[in-house]
Structure 1
Amino acid sequence: MQTVVYTALIGGYEQLNEQPMAKQSSLRFVCFSDDATLQSDSWEIVHVEPYLPEDLSRSQRYLKLLPHRHFSDYQRSLYIDNTVVLKKPPEEIIADHHQGPFTNFEHSYRSELIEEFIKVLQYGIDDPGRVYEQLNQLQTFSPQLLSAKVFWGGFMIRDHHQPQMVALAEQWWAQVLRYSRRDQLSLPRAMDASGVVANALKLSNKDSDFHQWPVAIARKRSAEQFSAHRNLKPQSLQIAELSAELERSRKALNNLPKTVFYRLRDKLLLRGK
């Protein structure tokens, strides 16, 4: 079966990791990137324009989630996040671990989907409005999925042209467009809708005999991410909010001597008693 290994690096979020195992493999290693200057010793760089220029995160997901659209001549794909480095040739990994049509990892740190929702909200990883909307949608229409397994999205082997896998990919992409960009939140719903059951490996997400993660080089944590709340807010409203905040700060600064005086006075009065 024709197989391709690929990753997607959009928006300059981090530098490209090389894959030493590519030299021991006969498979094609493809890196989709919007950086026209990017070069690599182990990846074949395929230049692409972001599918959604104003939303680089979902532009990366467009490449990650839909291999059947991007690799018509290949029946199988091994997707890895850029922060994953393979420690064995991909042919060996697939032969040892793939039981089609879909092989991935169980999440090492969250056992139920609701826990992943909580972490996304707790760390402010995505717009809370979209996350809450997705959570409410699941609670109303598919409450059983909130206790479903969580899967790590950094490694996936997919027989991506099988009809069930095409259905999964399209449903997954639709969910990521409609709700949170965090694809882990949408995968259980897409699997349920398509009827796909994953061959989920019960291995550490961080390290196994065939992979290491995360291997990050010069990650830009401050890279701009699209936010519906921020990007759709009218400029006039943003200016008004900043002006109000400036006025509050000015008043607080003007009142600082009075505040200090009254606090000292209260302390002295307490001591006098």
Structure 2
Amino acid sequence: MNRRAKPASPKVCVYTALMGGYEDLNEQKVANESHFDFICFTDSESLESGTWDVKFITPLFDNDPQRSQRHIKIKPQVYLGDYDVTIYIDNSILLLRDPVHLLEQFDLECGLMLAPHSFRSTVLDEFIEVSRIGLDDVSRIMEQMGHYYVSSPGVMMQKPFWGGLIVRDSRSRLVIDFQERWFSHVCRYSRRDQLSLNYCLDEIGIIPQAINIDNHLSDIHSWPNSRGRKSLIDKQSGYNTVAQMLNRHTAYEDKIKSFVSDQVNIGALQSRLKDAQSEIEDLEMFIDYMQDELDAVLARLK
């Protein structure tokens, strides 16, 4: 009797990425009771953990730990090719239960599970808040928002997703295409990946499975749990400050060029006005001459 073989269980890992010494690593006690691998990617050769398998990695971008971290977060297929399903968590998340409970809710056919944002109503709200707090260069944020409004205005009114926890089928071609697109937007525009998340989902045509949990606290996690977080006044901020100065310098240059252009235009108009005034004077002299001629003709007729 032939029996159909039981499908093999997917190989799963939980992972995080900690780059640039931004904060201390949070230990995950549930890792000791889970059958899943727990992997932390870091650029710190001295980092040790009792619950994470720490893997040293050279940052993708020099002096840009945020986007280097985002590369790991957004594109697990590059770093975790041996796994079928990946569960990403921000370092500031503490898991309260074995993440197998997440996998039990995950629809592999969909390929992507995200939590809706608990305290933002629209993607536009997220743009406004990121800009207000100053989490990235404002001119870059405004350019990104303008792009999205022109090309896909409906996305700006969508309910945003929270990027702190992501469950993915790493074998899905569609999910991989989405991740490639998402990371390109993080490089082109703001490094705040939640700003581009909805737009890229819409562009690729993925409707993610929603896991309806409060972002701060659920039966499976708590957030935020940050220890030893460093000030944002670091090298990256320094580069951002220089970039902002260059942007302002460029803006002033553009204003000066516009002013000079206007002055040239004004000069041309003034020249044309003088020519017109001269033509009017000539016309007035001609009219006076014709009036004299007409008066003379009328006088002879009398």
Q: Deviations over 1:104-156 (max 9, x none)?
A: 11101101000000001111110011101100001111111100121111101
Provide the C-alpha distance between the structure 2 equivalents of 1:13 and 1:145, rounded to a whole number of angstroms.
31
Q: Indicate if the aligned counterparts of 2:28 and 2:95 stay in contact, CA closer than 8 A.
A: yes
The residue aligned with 1:230 is 241
**Deviation for aligned residue 1:229:** 4.9
Q: Call closer, same or farther: CA 1:194–1:28 in 2, change over 3 Å.
A: same
For the residues of structure 1 that align with 2:142 and 2:12, how far apart are their CA atoms? 38
User: Looking at CA atoms only, which structure, 1 or 2, has the larger radius of gyration?
Assistant: 2
Q: Name the structure 2 match of 1:173.
A: 183
What is the identity, as a one-letter code, of the residue corresponding to 1:208? Answer: S
Q: Is the 8 A contact 1:126 1:227 kept in 2?
A: no
Higher relative contact order (CA 8 A, sep 6+): 1
Partner of 1:128: 138
Equivalence map 1:197-216=2 (5 Å): 197-216=207-226
Q: Please identify runs of 4+ aligned residues in structure 1 that moved more than 6 A.
A: none
TM-score computed with the length of structure 1 as normaliser: 0.82
Matches for 1:78-97 after TM superposition, within 5 Å = 78-97=87-106
How many Å separate the matches in 1 of 2:58 and 2:233? Answer: 18
- In the TM superposition, residue 190 of structure 1 has moved relative to its aligned partner by 1.1
Residues in 2 aligned to 1:211 and 1:138: alpha-carbon distance in whole angstroms: 32
Task: Check whether the contact 2:106–2:167 (CA below 8 A) recurs between aligned residues.
Answer: no
- The whole-number CA distance in structure 1 between the counterparts of 2:13 and 2:237 is 30
Alignment of 1:1-273 (within 5 A): 1-98=10-107, 100-224=110-234, 225=236, 229-232=240-243, 233=245
> In the alignment, what sits opposite 2:272?
none
Residue type at the aligned position of 2:120: R
Alpha-carbon separation, structure 2, partners of 1:10 and 1:168: 23
Which piece of structure 1 moves more, 15-24 or 100-109?
Answer: 100-109
Q: CA RMSD in A?
A: 1.6
Tell me by how many angstroms 1:161 deviates. 2.1
CA distance in 1: counterparts of 2:227 and 2:26, whole angstroms: 7
Residues 220/229 of structure 1: CA separation in 2 closer, same or farther (3 Å cut)? closer
Give SS of 2:55's match. Answer: strand
Give the Cα–Cα distance (whole angstroms) in 2 for the partners of residues 122 and 30 of structure 1: 34
Aligned mates of 1:35, 1:231 — CA distance in 2: 26
Instruction: Give, as a single letter, the amino acid of the residue that structure 2 aligns with 1:210.
Output: I
Percent of aligned pairs with the same residue? 37
Gaps of 5+ in 1: 238-273
Give yes or no for contact 2:31–2:98 (8 Å, CA) kept in 1.
yes
Shift of 1:217: 0.8
Task: For residue 205 of structure 1, give the secondary structure of its aligned residue in structure 2.
Answer: coil
Unaligned runs of 5+ in 2: 1-9, 250-302
Paired amino acid for 1:183? D
CA distance in 2, matches of 1:41, 1:97: 28
Q: In structure 1, give the amino acid aligned to 2:241.
A: R
Q: Where does residue 253 of structure 1 map in the other structure?
A: none
What SS does the aligned partner of 1:156 have?
A: strand
What do the CA deviations read for 1:68-103 (whole angstroms, capped 9, x no partner)? 111111111000000001111111221135563111
Aligned amino acid, residue 230 of structure 1: T
Aligned length: 235
The one-letter amino acid of 1:120's match is V
- Kindly provide the amino acid, as one letter, of the partner of residue 222 in structure 1: L
